[in-house]
Amino acid sequence: MTNNLLEDKSVLLGVTGSIAAYKAVDIASQLIKLGANVNVALTEAATKFITPFTFKTITGNMPYYDMWDTNAKAKEQHIELAHNADLMIIAPATASTIATLAYGMGDDSVSLCALSTGAPKLIAPAMDHQMWNNKATQENINKLIERGDTIILPEYGRLASGEFGLGRLSSVDNIIDEIKRKAGDVYGDLCGKHIVITAGGTREPLDPVRFLSNRSSGKMGFALAEAARNRGSSVTLISSVKRNSLSGVHFIETETTDQMFNEVKKATQKADALIMAAAVSDFKFKEINKDKIKDKNNDLSVNLTPNPDIIASVEKNIIKVAFAAETKDLKKYAEKKLFSKNAHFIVANDVSDPSIGFNSDNNKVTIISDKGKVINLPIMPKIEVSHAILNSLKEYF
């Protein structure tokens, strides 16, 4: 099974008459790269901003823009497109189209398809800030939300008029991210599960400006959160670092191990699994100076005391996944840690290799289970490593 849920999915992209219509080309192109079959419907107004020919070239499919085309191959083109769609995204969506959708009308190719499809719908509005803030638009948006459509909110920024305000089409990256998330919600193999994931190196303060930490970037934990979310799981990400924001992921920022410990304890009460990808500091300072320690020529001695063992303290009634970052005898130390943490399996990586592990976009890991199963994975992007870890996790559900 592929972990890219958009592969071979049929996505119907509705484009309407906004100045942002050109961005829909990028959306179509990215969906194609993800393996989706993309069909495009354009309103008449949209064709004033971008040509159907552009979409034909990008998608390889004939766009639908003339409801009355006597040469159309299908008997009822809108029905064929609407029924074959696994997902529909309207981007950009004008105020006018949003009103049309809210009132259940189907007097142009986009609204006709939207009215005829049973596929989940995502709508990304783009318009002037006054149009967006207009009570009529807001009421229409609320109607669509009540009916279960997903609204990808517009951004604040410079608008076509030159004014600044809320109304710009959300970034293409964010729109693609929302489409992936929706695909996970509807078609994912982890739907109904709740996974708690930790990320980053915890920081133990010595004084207001200094802390004890490690080289963990948080990339592995964030990749895991993205992968789990894209497979339909609800995700709580507890992290000491802030990276890209992941829509739909419940993010909790913590700094110290004690804070992370408290948040993990709370979040795991109602979770199905805990993946401890954070590099937790084993020690904290016994005393934290209230004021900055001043430069002195003398040596400074500090006392360290052990931090709570987060993963070991969580009951094994949920699936527990530990991480081991070792610089030598990887398998030996990882196995020892697997049992001392009372985990179901452990993900071990060799951090002595600078091309993988901390701060790298790739990782090379070995997954060792409490049942003695060992999976040696080749070097691959952290998002792929994440899917492999989730595949192992799934075996325990």
Ligand X SMILES: Cc1cc2nc3c(=O)[nH]c(=O)nc-3n(C[C@H](O)[C@H](O)[C@H](O)COP(=O)(O)O)c2cc1C
Q: How far apart are CA 214 and CA 335, in angstroms?
A: 22
* 108 and 73 Cβ atoms separated by less than 8 Å: no
Residue number with CB closer to ligand X (122 or 275): 122
Find how far residue 271's CA is from the centre of its chain.
19
| 26-34, 95-103, 212-220, 281-289 -> range binding ligand X (CB under 6 A) | 95-103
DSSP assignment string, 12-25:
EEEE-SSGGGGHHH
| 17-25, 29-37, 294-302, 335-343 -> range binding ligand X (CB under 6 A) | 17-25
Residue number with CB closer to ligand X (44 or 326): 44
Query: Which listed residue (61, 134, 174, 214) is catalytic?
Result: 214
Other beta carbons within 10 Å of 375: 15
| 14-22, 171-179, 192-200, 366-374 -> range binding ligand X (CB under 6 A) | 14-22
Give the residue, chosen from 3, 4, 19, 243, that forms a contact with ligand X under the rule CB under 6 A: 19
* 46 and 17 Cβ atoms separated by less than 8 Å: yes
Give the residue, chosen from 10, 43, 254, 392, that forms a contact with ligand X under the rule CB under 6 A: 43
Q: How far apart are CA 158 and CA 166, in angstroms?
A: 9
Give the residue, chosen from 37, 39, 108, 349, that forms a contact with ligand X under the rule CB under 6 A: 108
* 17 and 98 Cβ atoms separated by less than 8 Å: no
Q: How far apart are CA 97 and CA 108, in angstroms?
A: 9
Give the residue, chosen from 29, 30, 32, 45, that forms a contact with ligand X under the rule CB under 6 A: 45
142 is catalytic: no
Tell whether residue 97 is a contact of ligand X (CB under 6 A).
yes
Closest contact distance (angstroms) between CB of 41 and ligand X is: 11
Q: Which two tokens stand for residue 317?
A: 């009634």
Contacts 24+ apart (CB under 8 A), 355-360: 355/379, 357/325, 358/214, 358/215, 358/216, 358/217, 358/279, 358/325, 359/215, 359/217, 359/219, 360/219
**3-state secondary structure (DSSP) of residue 346:** strand
Closest contact distance (angstroms) between CB of 38 and ligand X is: 19
Contact positions with ligand X (CB under 6 A) in 131-170: 131
Give the residue, chosen from 5, 82, 127, 348, that forms a contact with ligand X under the rule CB under 6 A: 127
| 91-99, 261-269, 336-344, 369-377 -> range binding ligand X (CB under 6 A) | 91-99
Residue number with CB closer to ligand X (97 or 363): 97
β-pairing verdict for 121-125 and 37-42: unpaired
Within 8 A by CB and 6+ apart from 364, the residues are 349, 350, 353, 356, 377, 378, 379, 380
* 231 and 190 Cβ atoms separated by less than 8 Å: yes
Give the residue, chosen from 6, 40, 41, 95, that forms a contact with ligand X under the rule CB under 6 A: 95
Q: How far apart are CA 149 and CA 153, in angstroms?
A: 12
Residue 304 bridge partners (DSSP): 285
Tell whether residue 16 is a contact of ligand X (CB under 6 A).
yes
Q: Which two tokens stand for residue 297?
A: 């020529």
- How many residues belong to the site for ligand X (CB under 6 A)? 16
Residue number with CB closer to ligand X (109 or 307): 109
Tell whether residue 392 is a contact of ligand X (CB under 6 A).
no
Residue number with CB closer to ligand X (50 or 267): 50
Give the residue, chosen from 5, 11, 17, 202, that forms a contact with ligand X under the rule CB under 6 A: 17
- What amino acid positions are annotated as catalytic residues? 214
Instruction: Note the residues at the interface with ligand X (CB under 6 A).
Output: 16-20, 43, 45-46, 94-97, 108, 126-127, 131
